[in-house]
Amino acid sequence: MKKYFKRGIGTIIPIALVFWVLNMFYGWIDSIVVMLLPSSVVYAWWYVFPLTIALFILIELIGFIFSLPPFIWIKKKIETKIVNRVPYIKGIYNFGTELVDSFMTDVKGDGEVIIIESGELCKTDGVMIGILMDSKNNLITLPTVPNPSNGFLLKTTNYEILGTIIGECMKILTSMGKLGGEKWLEKNKYKIRFTKEEEE
């Protein structure tokens, strides 16, 4: 009985999570539809879908256009000649750019997000898993569990780069170590073995 109950929970929760996220997205797009819809047009629930498709096409189109050399040059000129000369606009624009660059590493061409472990906040021999945000200034984020959107920003050189990808890191954090912990364990085993070989 207990086994079937666990299996049922394991089946329902992922599906429910997907529907919850889709429902939130639908509600957001629906509010935009209601705002843009003329008063003479009768609202229908399916208006969300063509707007969603149009939004994705628009984002792709803008990304493609500003990947072309002439538009890259135009964007840089607008930033340097106009945006960066207006005090408040400059601050808001630069903050938005830095925020996007932090979470979408492909924008800067930095490759994958770098996962690290650090012992800086631990009073014992333990370590904490985190994300390297700025290798030049040694800034790392130590996310909390089970909600990794919260955490601590720390400046330290006391960290080791792991071979773990961001997806595995999020799995470890959101499951509070129940899932994906073996990847972290394998890395630590490798480090211990490597250290012993060096000493020999």
Mean predicted lDDT score pLDDT of the chain: 77
For residues 167, 130, 190 and 163, what is the CA-based torsion angle, rounded to 10 degrees? 40
142 phi and psi angles, rounded to 5 deg: -110, 100
CB atoms within 10 A of CB 11: 10
List, for residues 99-119, the tens digit of each pLDDT value.
666 555 544 444 457 777 777
Question: What tokens were used for 114?
Answer: 């770098």
Q: For 73-100, how does the pLDDT look when each residue is reduced to its tens digit (9 = 90+)?
A: 988 888 888 888 888 888 888 777 776 6
Whole-angstrom Cα distance, residue 61 to residue 15?
32
Tell me the range of 57-61, 99-103, 107-111, 175-179 where mean pLDDT is highest.
Answer: 57-61
**pLDDT per position as a tens digit, 127-146:** 788 888 877 888 888 888 87
The predicted structure's pLDDT at residue 178: 75
The amino acid at residue 109 is G
Q: Would you kindly state where each structural domain of the chain is located, as residue ranges?
A: 2-65, 114-199
Give the model confidence (pLDDT) of 28-38 as tens digits: 888 888 888 88
Phi and psi at 106, nearest 5°, equal -65, -25
Measure the CA angle with vertex 10, ends 8 and 16; round to 5°. Answer: 95
Of 196, 193, 144, the C-alpha closest to 173 is 144
Q: How far apart are CA 8 and CA 16, in angstroms?
A: 12
pLDDT for 108 equals 44
